[in-house]
């Protein structure tokens, strides 16, 4: 059971950090591209859809981590962070409200840190200590 816990929290933390890197690098890449091409082009659809890949990996990681954590506090923190990240990315895509992108960065980093905390919090000595639901 220890291996399953480590995989979900590790995958969630990595996905969240990669999401932040993706968000930070995007403007730099397209500014460089614009300067080199002399024209402003739209981002390729595959690049825009990476957000959804990160959300899917994060969702699975949060789901699995909340099934295996021994902390009652971690569950709402993981789901709350994921839900907020989902809403922020959806808002960015639909452009419903003007929200600073730094909030998305902080939310993704918070999700990564919660996964890392959960990874350190549940130090199993047996196969059954991380399988409690409460």
Name 93's Cβ contacts closer than 8 Å, sequence gap at least 6: 48, 51
Residue 61 in contact with residue 8, Cβ under 8 Å? yes
Classify residue 134: in a domain, yes or no: no
Residue 62's φ and ψ, nearest 5 degrees, are -65, -45
Q: Is 96 helix (H, G, I), strand (E, B) or coil?
A: coil
Residue 45's φ and ψ, nearest 5 degrees, are -65, -35
pLDDT in tens, 40-83: 445 566 666 778 888 888 898 888 888 878 888 888 999 999 99
Classify residue 30: in a domain, yes or no: yes
Classify residue 133: in a domain, yes or no: no
Q: With bands split at pLDDT 50, 70 and 90, how would you rate the model's confidence at 33?
A: low
Residue 130 in contact with residue 70, Cβ under 8 Å? yes
Q: With bands split at pLDDT 50, 70 and 90, how would you rate the model's confidence at 97?
A: very high
Domain extent, residue 34, equals: 2-124
State percent of the chain over pLDDT 90: 15
Domain count for the chain? 1
**DSSP alpha helix (H) spans, 38-100:** 45-48, 50-68, 74-94
Classify residue 132: in a domain, yes or no: no
> What average pLDDT score do residues 120-124 get?
62
């Amino acid at each position: 059971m220890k291996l399953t816990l480590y995989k979900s929290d590790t995958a969630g933390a990595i996905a969240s950090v990669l999401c932040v890197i993706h968000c930070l690098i995007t403007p730099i890449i397209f500014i460089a591209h614009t300067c080199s091409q002399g024209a402003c082009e739209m981002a390729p659809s595959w690049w825009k859809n990476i957000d959804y890949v990160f959300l899917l990996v994060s969702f699975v990681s949060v789901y699995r981590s909340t099934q295996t954590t021994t902390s009652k506090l971690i569950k709402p923190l993981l789901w709350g962070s994921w839900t907020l990240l989902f809403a922020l990315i959806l808002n960015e895509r639909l452009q419903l409200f003007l929200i600073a992108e730094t909030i998305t960065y902080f939310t993704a980093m918070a999700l990564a840190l919660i996964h890392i905390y959960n990874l350190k919090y549940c130090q199993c000595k047996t196969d059954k200590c991380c399988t409690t639901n409460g």
